[in-house]
Every structure is written in structure tokens, then in C-alpha cells.
Structure 1
Amino acid sequence: MARVLHNLLLFLIRLAQKIRVLGYWSLIYGYCALCTIVALLKLWWNIILRPTTTFQWVIRETPPACLNDTSLGTHCYVRIKESGLRFHYVAAGERGKPLMLFLHGFPEFWFSWRYQLREFKSEFRVVAIDMRGYGESDLPLSTESYRFEYLVTDVKDIGYNRCCLVGHDWGGTIAWLFAIHYPEMVTKLIVLNCPHPSVFTDYALRHPSQLLKSSHFFFFQLPRFPELMLSINDFKALKALFTSRSTGIGRKGRWLTPGALTGALNYYRNVFSSLPLSQNHVRSPVLLLWGERDTFLEQEMAEACRLYIRNHFRLNIISGASHWLQQDQPDIVNTLIWTFLKEGEGRKSYRN
């Protein structure tokens, strides 16, 4: 009898787990379907009811002059042995100085760090890379190539011993994960508008408002259709991220050149299937900068990150700043970074 009850209990546990998994993926793909319907309605409205709208793709064979501005640094390439991929980066400052490594987010590339490259090259060897699938870095085609473990390994294998690591948006997620798994390589961690991965997961599951703000996560799970929606009308949807009143950069002189879309979207397409963190605490000193006008992330998550820091933690909420705060409020961002860098450890601790 005891054996029968034991087997029945195991069966019920396994059934509950399967139901939970089924419910999880049903929620994800159900939300994907809802987002697709909304996107199709918008497309139908623009093309059928507003026939003046046309499909446009603009090919720019000559890059804008600002990308070749020598004051920003030197364009370089490195091939990583582990993956065989070639990465493009822009570097400035003297070799041998402490390394400050910048990781951009979606849908950007190295240029989003232009204000920081100029600012910190006097004291650091500053390097802003094009992440896998962006800009002039290699673009693997398979979705599997953008799993978190590969993205973190890219950062590890670029070629250095230690660095001050700076990340924004998706670059912030990779920076958090890198600091968790390779703490000996991170002297200080600086993250802009990106919560600790565990904070984001826990908060999003408990707050429908954040799920709504993250609806693009679900829409981007679809193959090909997001690429179409983001690229029509000369990438109008992407430009709106940077220029609209609700989500855009608050500064004048805004500029955008989107890269290949599939690689960038593949970051999102692996987010639900990635393995959970084996351990999730950060042992490096952490500065978290947060734009008050961020419309993609709830501000409450910023303070919650404190629970996962086993070292000095500083949080600064920048009033009036958008999600793109390193471009939106570069002077304030740079000042706060300098203050953080001068706290605690001396400059010698940054040496490679």
C-alpha cells in the first residue's frame, strides 16, 4: 500500500510539473499571438486605410562621417578562438592603462558610448565593442548562437585579465551575468537601466504592469515577422524608439543607424529557454544608473537589485533621463561614473 501511495505521489508531482511547463509556454505563445494580432492591425491600418504609406528600405553604402571621428578612437577587430567569430570594437586611451569595457544594448552598437569614450580615455583604455550580431561584428544566423552562455563567453574571451565593466540594456544583462560568473575579472560593475536578471524575472512574474511593458519580448519570439515590422518605412519603428516623445532621447541631434535585425532579435528569442542562474550574487562594487523616464522598465526593480550585491552598491535615479541615458544625459552619467570610480579602491586595482 505504501508503495502504491509513493508511486501515486510521484505521478502527481510529475503531472503538476508538466502542467506547469505547459502553462508557462502556453502563456508565452498566447501572448506572442496577441502581440502579433496587434502588430498586424497596425500594419493593416498603415497600408490599407492609409495608402500613402509605402514600404521603404534605404541602403547606405557610405557610413556617416561621425562613425569615423578619430576623437572617438581607433576601429579594430579581434577574432575569438572559442567561437571563431570576429568582433569589431573602437578603442581609445593609452595601452596599459586600466581597461574600461562597454557593452551596448538593443538596437544599438558601439556608437551609443561616444560620450563615454571621449570622457574616460584620459584615465582608461576605453573599448566599446559591437556585440555578437551587431554592427561590424560577425552575425551568426542560428538563434541558438545567441544563448546567454555564448554571449558571456564572448566578453570573457576578447583578451584581457580585468576590467571595469559597463553595460546598458541587453549589454547590462550580459554585464550582470559576467560579473556573477567571472567575479575575478571585474574590478567594478556599472549598469545602466537594466536590473539584475533575477530581479527582472521575479518582478515581471508578479507585476502585470511590467509584463505589459515587456510585451516586445513575446512579439520578438516570432520568426521573420518582427524583422519585417521593424524594417518597413525605413526602419520607422526603430527610429521611434530613439525619437518619440514617450521613449526617445531627450537631446537634440539624435542619430540612428540600425544594423542587421535578426542577430539583435535573437537575443530576445533565447530569453525564455535560457537556463536559470546557478548562483546570482555579484561580489564586485556596483553602480546602477537609472533613467527616471524609462518606459520599458519599472523603477521599483532598481532598488531590489541591492539584495543581490555582496559589496558596495550605489543607485542613482537620473531625473528626466530616458532609457537611453548615456546619450540622453551624458554629462550627468559621466560625473556619476567618475564619483563611483574614485570610491573605495585605488586606481592600481584596475590594472590588467
Structure 2
Amino acid sequence: MARLLHNLLLLSVWLALKLRLLGYWSFVYGYCALCTATALLRLWWNILLRPSSTFQWSVRETPPSCLSDTSLGTHCYVRIKESGLRFHYVAAGERGKPLMLFLHGFPEFWFSWRHQLREFKSEFRVVAVDMRGYGESDLPPSTEWYRLDYLVTDVKDIVEYLGYNRCFLVGHDWGGIIAWLCAIHYPEMVAKLVVLNSPHPCVFTDYALRHPSQMLKSSYFFFFQLPRFPELMLSINDFKALKSLFTSRSTGIGRKGRWLTTEELEAYLYALSQPGALTASLNYFRNVFSFLPLSQSEVRSPVLLLWGERDAFLEQDMSEACRLYIRNHFRLNIISGASHWLQQDQPDIVNTLIWTFLKEGEGRKNYRN
């Protein structure tokens, strides 16, 4: 009798887990279908209003001059032996100085750190990487190439290739997610961690599942699961959606700070219009539900978290919750009026806060190799 009850209990638990999993994926794909229907309505509306220009877009063949600005640093390339991928990065500052490594988000590339490259090259070896699938780095076509463990290993391999075993790691958006995971999995590698508008992965997962408002703000995660259609929607009308992402009043750069110049916007369109570039960047999202297992989620490095007050994609409440996962010094700064792209629209404030954080506690000299 006891064995029968035991087996019934196990069966009940197994069924509950299966139903929970079924419910989760039903929600994911149901929400994806809703986002698709909304996008189709927008596409239909565009066709009605501007039928001749809806499906027009062009590959930018000539890079704007701002991408070759020598004050930002030197363009370099590295091929990682283990993955076989070639990475592009821009580096400035003297070799041998402490390494400050910058990881960009979606849909950006190394250029999003232009203000920080100029600012910190006086005392650091500053390196802004094109992450795999972006810019001049290799663009693997398969979704499987964008697993989180691969992205984290890329950072470790690049640090080692540059001749360092420790770095000051700075990440924004998707780059922030990778930076958090690097600090968790390779704590000895991260001297100090600076994250901009990207919550700890555990905070984001827990918060999004419990707050419908954040789930709505993250609806693009579900829409991007579709093959090909998101690429179409982002590129129609000569990349109108991407332009709006950076320039609109609700999501764009510079409501209170700096605006993107026409040339800077063209730099983004140049990078994203290259063959395969949009698909590669969207593959980050298409692999997001294959979570990287965390045997432990605590961060032992000192952490600075900077948060744009008017981020259109992330709830501000998540920023404070990150404190639960930090086992070292933690500083949180909410920047008034800053957007999701805060290192670009409020670079002076961001740079000042990073300098203050870097000078706290142990001196920079202790992190030389």
C-alpha cells in the first residue's frame, strides 16, 4: 500500500511538472502568435499607406566616416582557435595598462561605446568588441551558435588572447547579460563589473514571470522567435523600425541628453544592413529559452549597476532586486531622464559614475597582470 501511494505521489509530481511545462510553452507560443498578428496588421497598414516603398531597403556599401575616427582607437581582429570564429574589436590606450572590456547590446556593435573609448583610454587598455553575429565579427547562421555558454566563453577567450587574466568588464543590454554570466562563471576574471540597463539574469526571469507589465515590455522576445518575419519587419521602409528604435520619443536616444547625429544613425544602419546581420543579431533571442544552467548565481566582484530612468523595455524595480545576488560592494545609480541607451545619451554622467566606482576600494594598480 505504501509503495502504491509512493508511486501515485511520484506520478502526481511528474504530471504537475509536465502540465507546468506545457502551460509555459503554450504561453510562449500563444504570445508569439499574438505579437505576429499585431505585426501583420502593421505591415498591412504600411502597404495601404505606402505600397511602393514598403518593401524597399538597401545594403549600405560605404561605411560612414565616423567608424574610421582614429580618436576611437585601432581596428583589430582575432580568430579564436577553439570556436574558429573571427572577432573584430576596437582598442585604444597603452598595452599593459589594466584592461577594460566593453560588451554591446542589441541591435548595436562596438560603436555604441565611442564616448567611453575616448574617456577611459588615458588609464586603461580599452577594448570594445563586436560580439559574435555583429559588426565585422563572424556571423554564424545557425541559432545553435548563439547559446549563452558560447557567448560567455567568447569573452573569456578574448580576454586571454589580449594577454590578460583579469579585466574591468562593462556590459549593456545583451552585453550586460553576458557580463553578469561571466562574473558568475569566471569570478577570478572580473576585477569589477559595470552593467548598464540589464538586470541579473535570475532577477529578470523571476520578475518577468510575476509581472505582466514586464512581460508586455518584453513582447519582442516572443516575436523574434519566428523565422524570417522579424527580419522583414525590421528592414521594410528602409529600416524604419530600427531608425525608430534609436530616435523615437518613446524608445530613442537623447530626450534629455545627446541625440544621434545622422552619420551616427547611418553607422548603425550600415552594420545592420549587411547580408546576414539582422538574422545573426536576432539569433540571440531565438536561443534565449535554452537557459544556461547556474550552479550558483552569486556575483563576488564589486558591481556598479547604472539604470536609465526612462528605459522603455525594462521595469526599474528590477534594478534594486539585483542586490540580492551580489556578495560584494554594490552601487546602484538611477540616471534621471536617461533612456535604455544611457551610455550614448548621457555619456558624461555615465563616465563620471564609472570613474567614481573604479576608484573605490582597491586601486587599479592591484589589477595589473
Match of 2:246 in 1: 242
The aligned runs of 1:53-68 (5 Å cut-off) are 53-68=53-68
The aligned runs of 1:55-134 (5 Å cut-off) are 55-134=55-134
The aligned runs of 1:1-352 (5 Å cut-off) are 1-51=1-51, 53-158=53-158, 159=161, 160-250=164-254, 251-254=258-261, 255-256=264-265, 257-258=268-269, 259=272, 260-352=277-369
Q: Secondary structure at the match of 1:331?
A: helix
Distance in 1, matches of 2:296 and 2:226, equals: 30
Distance in 1, matches of 2:240 and 2:30, equals: 27
Structure 2: stretches of 5+ with no match in the other structure: none
Q: Secondary structure at the match of 1:156?
A: helix
Distance in 1, matches of 2:65 and 2:284, equals: 29
Deviations 1:102-159 (A, max 9, x none): 0000000000000000000000000000001000000111101101000000000012
Alpha-carbon distance, 1:213 to partner:
0.3
Q: Secondary structure at the match of 1:100?
A: strand
Q: Please tell me the residue identity of whatever aligns with 1:120.
A: F
Alpha-carbon distance, 1:85 to partner:
0.3
Q: Secondary structure at the match of 2:183?
A: helix
Distance in 2, matches of 1:58 and 1:137, equals: 21
Alpha-carbon distance, 1:350 to partner:
2.2
Distance in 2, matches of 1:96 and 1:288, equals: 27
Distance in 2, matches of 1:13 and 1:199, equals: 26
Distance in 2, matches of 1:339 and 1:273, equals: 37
Deviations 1:140-181 (A, max 9, x none): 111011010000000000123110000000000000000000
Where has structure 1 moved over 6 Å in runs of 4 or more? Answer: none
Distance in 1, matches of 2:243 and 2:317, equals: 27
Between stretches 53-62 and 8-17, larger displacement belongs to 53-62
Q: Secondary structure at the match of 1:94?
A: coil
Check whether the contact 1:284–1:311 (CA below 8 A) recurs between aligned residues.
Answer: yes
Q: Please tell me the residue identity of whatever aligns with 2:259.
A: K
Distance in 2, matches of 1:222 and 1:278, equals: 31
TM-score, with length taken from structure 2: 0.94
Q: Secondary structure at the match of 2:27?
A: helix
Distance in 2, matches of 1:316 and 1:178, equals: 22
Alpha-carbon distance, 1:79 to partner:
0.7
Q: Secondary structure at the match of 2:122?
A: coil
**RMSD (CA atoms):** 1.0
Alpha-carbon distance, 1:274 to partner:
1.6
Deviations 1:65-87 (A, max 9, x none): 00000000000000111101000
Alpha-carbon distance, 1:49 to partner:
4.5
Check whether the contact 1:291–1:320 (CA below 8 A) recurs between aligned residues.
Answer: yes
| Percent of matched pairs sharing the same residue | 85
Distance in 1, matches of 2:132 and 2:259, equals: 29
Distance in 2, matches of 1:187 and 1:54, equals: 49
Alpha-carbon distance, 1:275 to partner:
3.5
TM-score, with length taken from structure 1: 0.98
Q: Secondary structure at the match of 2:5?
A: helix
Check whether the contact 1:91–1:127 (CA below 8 A) recurs between aligned residues.
Answer: yes
Q: Please tell me the residue identity of whatever aligns with 1:266.
A: N
Distance in 1, matches of 2:196 and 2:32, equals: 28
Deviations 1:8-40 (A, max 9, x none): 111111111111111111000000000000000
Distance in 2, matches of 1:253 and 1:180, equals: 34
Distance in 2, matches of 1:338 and 1:143, equals: 37
Check whether the contact 1:290–1:317 (CA below 8 A) recurs between aligned residues.
Answer: yes
Check whether the contact 1:187–1:349 (CA below 8 A) recurs between aligned residues.
Answer: no
Deviations 1:257-298 (A, max 9, x none): 242111111111111122332210000000000000101000
Alpha-carbon distance, 1:62 to partner:
1.4
Distance in 2, matches of 1:161 and 1:228, equals: 42
Between stretches 94-103 and 152-161, larger displacement belongs to 152-161
Deviations 1:173-212 (A, max 9, x none): 0000000000000000000000000000111111000000
Structure 1: stretches of 5+ with no match in the other structure: none
Between stretches 145-154 and 41-50, larger displacement belongs to 41-50
Check whether the contact 1:79–1:85 (CA below 8 A) recurs between aligned residues.
Answer: yes
Distance in 2, matches of 1:206 and 1:129, equals: 34
